[in-house]
Each structure stands twice: as structure tokens, then as C-alpha cells.
Chain A
Amino acid sequence: MTSLDDNGTDKPVAPGGASAVGTSPPATVPAPAGTSGTEDRLAAVATSLPVAHSARGYFNLYVQRVRGGEMGSLPAVGGLVGLVILFSAIQPTFRGLYNFGNMLTEGSGPVLLAMGLVFVLLLGEIDLSAGFAGGVCAAVMVRLMVGYNMAWPVSIGAALVTGIVIGLLIGFLRTKVRIPSFVVTLAFFLAFQGVALFIVNNGKGAHGDVRITDNVVLAFENSQMPKWAGWLLAAVLIAGYGYVKLSAQRARRRQGLLGEPTVVLAAKIGGVTVGLLLFVLLLNQNRNVNSTPVATNVNGTITFVRPPAVEGVPWVVLVLVGFFVLWTFVLSRTRYGRHVYAVGGNEEASRRAGIAVDRVRISVFVICSFMAAVGGIMIGSNVAAVSVQNYSGNTLLLAVGAAVIGGTSLFGGKGRVVDALIGGAVVEVIQNGMSNLVQGNNGSSVQYIVTGVVLMLAAAIDALSRRRAGATGLG
């Protein structure tokens, strides 16, 4: 506790020094100006639910919260904008529409992985094995399809179940055997690499980097929705977001509670609308780099044929959006989600409150490994093959980095699913922008160094903002 607390916060409060709560008996006397200014500001800044009477008040509150260390995704969004401008300026290939779609599909696997990691990080745990766990699951899928001719629903189902089993195993070792998650998952990091290699190199069918031939699995990353489906997706999302926001505000008003100012609400919904429409509009353009007709021999006559258009929202976006909405709902609106935050904040308090702490802890590892399976399948779909090196430590660290860059804390108790999305975008932009920039012999060495530096930077921001928040009592 710091000086702010000694600031008379608990002086027998002068009547009327109260606002929200103490509106009982003598509270009609207005607070003497200035006396409780510090506390009022602290209370407002430390709120878990920013509300204000006016847009101006809301904005001031936001600025104060950021300065108090409650930065959320701000550094990540700022970094993203900066990086996009930088790479666009120095690299013509980066800014093309083609690369936009390319980054979207390339980055989807790590983002899905990062969504699962957010849950684990919320409990102050880590899952170093998530990358190779995804590899094992993808290997299971491709082996069943290639070696045993299983249909895609069976193969994908088996991969997802594998993920769940892996999560249960990690959770069991962490909670019942009480091995620190760092050690459990480091051991699995090594073991799963072996398991994945074993599966792709053994059994019926092709060995080595097993090619994916199933059209449905390939479609996630390599085909696009019809244009109308993209618009429909945007419309559904906009309507859903608007409904959630407006009904929350209405519920608060009904109970006589202060909500978000209508102007702010309108701005948020408007921003989401514009953003989503722009997103679909861009992706519905033909982004094929070769759009000029080429001379082709069709039944003996030379005709000029346009190469097939690449247009529409990639199918994987549907997967991303689906899990994003699902997990955001789970974390922010359900009792289970509340318990995840509680256990991450204070395990003992949660236990005393009757929360089944061990069950919550196991569940986050299950969610993480399940999402690793989903991500692993998408990574396979992206390169049309399951190749163990694509699930390496680099993949995992980038996913962890994505969550942390987005604003999820490594110390537990703080994080959101959207962090994975925003941080994942930053990581993908860096990866993509760098890979075209540094080519030749030193390409991969530079990439490793940059990845390491970015991860360290994110962790440093996390630690510093935590310290700052601690100093201002925002925790």
C-alpha cells in the first residue's frame, strides 16, 4: 500500500464525502471541493468497469487509467500501426492486398494457439508444450487421413480429442502430482516433438512431411468464402456486438446504475462497423498478384485466360471469429470465467470461496491443448502438409509473445482473449515484414534474434506496467 492510501481514505468520512455507495442518511451535503479529489480519482481509475456521465469524463478516465499503468492493448495497437507503416514504406510487397490475405492465414495458427495460452497465463501458469502438442494433434489427423483413409470429421475429431487428453495429462501432473507447469510442459515440449516425429514417420501411408490431401482441411487456409458470406459474417458480428453493448447499457440503466455514455457507445459500435466492413471489403477484392490474362492453349486454339481470382474472406477467419467469440464470452460473462480470474488473482481466496481450484486449473490446460490442436490443424492446412518443424519452440514462443504483447500478464490474473488477436497481429506483421526484408544466409538468424527481442520487450512492458499499477494501487 502506498501513500495514496494514507491520504485520508479512511478518515471518518465527512458526510457527503461519499458518492456511489454512501448515499445513506446525511449524504445530501455536497462534498467539500478538493478534499476527496485524490480518492475519487483513484476509485474511478481503479474501476473494473469504466463508466462516466459524459464522453468527456469517459475520455479523461481512460487517459488516467492508461497513465496509472492500466494500458490494456494500447502498446500493442500502437506498435501494430507503427510496424505496418514502417514495413509498408520500405517494402512494396508488404503492403499489397495479396500479402494482407497471406498474413491472415499465416498468422491464424499462432493466434489460435495464443487464445488457449491466455487461459493458462491467467492462472500464472505456462504451457511450453502447446506448439508440439499442436504438432502431435495435426500428425494424428494427417496419419488417420493419409494412412487409414479416415474422413475429415473423424480425423479432425481425433486430433481435437488428442488435444483434450494432452491437456488433462498436463493438468493432472500440475495439480495432483504438483509439478510446476514450467517443468511439466518443458518435459512434454521435448517428448511431444518425438511423438509428432514418430507419428509422421511411422504407420501406414507416406512418411516424413506428410502432405494433406483432404480438400476440407486444405480449404481452411487456402479457400475463400463466397463474397456474400463475408458480408453476412460482418453483418452478424456487427449486430451481435451492438446488441451486447446496448443491452448491457439498458440493463444497467434499468437498475439505476451508471453505464457507458451513449456517445461512447455509438462511437464503439460505429468503429467496429467501419472496421469490419473495411476488412470484408478489402478481402473481397481480387488479390491474385497475377491478374493479367495469359496465352493458353485451349483445345488447340490459343486464347487469353485470366488466372483464377483470389477473392473473399478466407475460411479460417470463421474459425478465428468463432473461437474468439466463444472464449471471450466464457471469460467475461460466465461464472467459470470469473473463477479463472479469481484463481489467477488469489488461489487461497478462491479456495475459501468454494471454487474447485484444481478443476479450474486442469480446465485451462485442457482449453490450451485443445486450442493447440485447432491451431496445429490450421498450421498444417496453411502449408498443405504436417511437418514437425512447423510446431517448434519458435511457434510456441511467438504464440506466448502474442498473448503477452496483446496485454495478457505473465504473472496471472490479467488478460483477455482479444489480446491474442491483437498481439498475434503484431507478431505476424513482424514475422512477415522481416522475412521478406532479410533474405539470404542470415535470414533465419535475424528472425530468431528479432523474435527473442520482441518477446523480451513484451515481458518487460508487462513487468513494468505491473509495477506501475502496483504503485498506483491498480494491481
Chain B
Amino acid sequence: MSDQPILEMRDIKKSFGPVDVLKEVDFRAQAGQVTALVGDNGAGKSTLVKCISGTYAIDGGEYLYEGRPVVVHSPRDASALGIEIVYQDLALCDNLDIVQNMFLGRERVSGLVLDESSMEQAAEETLRSLSVRTVKSVRQRVASLSGGQRQTVAIAKAVLWNSNVVVLDEPTAALGVAQTAQVLSLVRRLADRGLAVVLISHNMTDVLQVADSIAVLYLGQMAAQVDRRDVNQQQLVELITTGRLEGSDIAGITKGAIA
């Protein structure tokens, strides 16, 4: 793969009134890699994701997609580029089934009429291609699914659209051990398919297990974006809690010194 990140955020600034939530943040995601985005509560992870998705307009900085500067004003713009976000609180409708949820907002029609069987087939194919074996029927209502199954559906929904970048905001937060393992292996498979996966998580074990690159946000600044192989758990925790790493010369700690 090339070195050019498919998604790059440069010097991103975002403030809410007097509060500067993101202060000149740099962030890169490569195709075929899992890029973890970590940081303490309130560090600005969700805010950064909302800037990526177009939910928030950035106040300053550059948004590059495949090396080209782009303007993303709404989630629609992001989708059009091939960027899909799977939010913390899964955006699924309980009263609809898996197929209906996966195609929500982008239903296939022939003429005026919904093309149910083609959507059903495509949904099944997508799940099969992700080796998802945990859901029994794609016509099952989402209300009856477990947390892990819901997460799977939400991720598969993002994949259905031939997206290139998938951002997952704490996909394993509410899951047990087995379901977490399953979702993480799904995350890995997405990257192996060539997607750029951005994974937000508070769980260091998960992050170290699945990520290729780790970006650490500290109080609205990017403390470091490092290669997974260059850090261990202890160093990562130090980065997250203090925003710096004592006596380190790891490449990628671009703005190591945080005042």
C-alpha cells in the first residue's frame, strides 16, 4: 500500500463558544489499517469523529481525502466520499429488521416499489462476505438481537456501501468477552479487505490487539500518532494520562510537548 493516508486531518480546530475542544489536531488513517483513536474522557475523540463525519463544521485546518482537500458539510458529504461512521449509540431502528436497517435511507426500488428481495440478498451477501455467522436470519427484527449482533449489523451496514473509511466509536464498550472478540475480529477483517478502519476505544487491550497505528488525543491535542509496534501498554497509558512520554524518541510523537 502507498504511504499516502486515505484520510488526513491537518491542524483541525474546533471550539464551542469559548471552549477550544480541538486544538490543531493532526490525524491520519491508512487504507488496510486499523487506526485506533484513544484518549481520556473529554479528550475530544467524539468531537473529532463528528468533524470527520461532517456533523460539525471545522473551525480551522485541512480535511484531506486521498490527498485532495475536500469540504465535508454533512454526513451525506462524508458518505459520498466513502466515509461511514458507526456511532456509539447504534443508529438502528428496533422495529425494523436487519435488511431494512442496513438499507435505511438508501432503499433499493424498482419504480415506486421497494425491491425487497434484492435488498435481502445483498444484505445476506455482505454478512457472508464478512464471515458473520452470528445472525440467523436477515429478516430478524433488530429488537431481538444481542449487543454484539447489533454492533455487527451496524458495521455491516457501513460496509454495504462500498465505503473506504469506517469509523467505529467505541464498538465494544457494552460487550462481554466473547462478543468483544467477535467484533474485534470483524474489525480486523474490514482492514484486511482494504478499508481504513478508525477505532475509538477506551480498552487498551483491545487497541493493542487489533490496531496498526494508534493516535492519542490529550485535552484536545494530538499527543502522538504512533505505530503499534513502537509502544507497549504502559507507554500508551502514560501518553493518554499525561500527554507525553518520558525520555522517548519514538517517531510519530509530533507534538510531544504539551504545555
Contact with A along B9-23 (1 / 0, CB 8 A): 000000000000000
3 nearest interchain CB pairs?
A475-B143, A22-B133, A353-B105
- Give which listed residue, A48, A338, A341, A474, contacts B139 with CB less than 8 A: A48
Say whether B133 contacts A9, CB under 8 Å: no
Q: For residue A40, which residues in chain B have a CB less than 8 angstroms away from its CB?
A: 136
Contact with B along A296-340 (1 / 0, CB 8 A): 000000000000000000000000000000000000011100110
Say whether B143 contacts A352, CB under 8 Å: no
User: Which of B93, B121, B179: most chain A CB closer than 10 A?
Assistant: B93
Min CB distance B138 to A, Å, is 6
Q: Check A17 for interface membership: any CB of B closer than 8 A.
A: yes
Say whether B143 contacts A19, CB under 8 Å: no
Q: For residue A254, which residues in chain B have a CB less than 8 angstroms away from its CB?
A: 117
Number of interface residues of B (CB under 8 A): 55
Say whether B137 contacts A338, CB under 8 Å: no
Min CB distance B26 to A, Å, is 27
Within 8 A of A (CB), among B104-136: 104-107, 109, 112-114, 116-118, 120-121, 124, 127-128, 131-136
- The residue on A at minimum CB distance from B115 is A251
Q: Check A449 for interface membership: any CB of B closer than 8 A.
A: no
Known A-B contacts A9-B134, A11-B178, A19-B137; A342 and B147 likewise in contact (beta carbons under 8 Å): no
Q: Check A174 for interface membership: any CB of B closer than 8 A.
A: no
Q: For residue B79, which residues in chain A have a CB less than 8 angstroms away from its CB?
A: 354
Q: Check A252 for interface membership: any CB of B closer than 8 A.
A: yes
Say whether A47 contacts B95, CB under 8 Å: no
- Give which listed residue, A47, A51, A252, contacts B141 with CB less than 8 A: A47
Q: Report the number of A-B residue pairs with Cβ-Cβ less than 8 Å.
A: 179
- The residue on A at minimum CB distance from B89 is A348
Q: Check B163 for interface membership: any CB of A closer than 8 A.
A: no
- The residue on A at minimum CB distance from B179 is A10
Q: For residue B146, which residues in chain A have a CB less than 8 angstroms away from its CB?
A: 1, 5-6, 9-10
Using a CB–CB cutoff of 8 Å, the interface residues on chain B facing chain A are 75-76, 79, 87, 89-97, 100-101, 104-107, 109, 112-114, 116-118, 120-121, 124, 127-128, 131-149, 176, 178-179, 181-182
Min CB distance A9 to B, Å, is 5
Q: For residue A48, which residues in chain B have a CB less than 8 angstroms away from its CB?
A: 96-97, 100, 139-141
Q: For residue A355, which residues in chain B have a CB less than 8 angstroms away from its CB?
A: 104-105
Min CB distance A40 to B, Å, is 6
Q: For residue B106, which residues in chain A have a CB less than 8 angstroms away from its CB?
A: 353-354
Say whether B97 contacts A10, CB under 8 Å: no
Say whether B105 contacts A354, CB under 8 Å: yes
Cα separation A36 to B136 with both chains bound (whole Å): 10
Min CB distance A469 to B, Å, is 8
Known A-B contacts A10-B178, A46-B141, A257-B117; A19 and B136 likewise in contact (beta carbons under 8 Å): yes
Q: Check A23 for interface membership: any CB of B closer than 8 A.
A: yes
User: Which of B100, B104, B114, B128: most chain A CB closer than 10 A?
Assistant: B104
Say whether A474 contacts B144, CB under 8 Å: yes
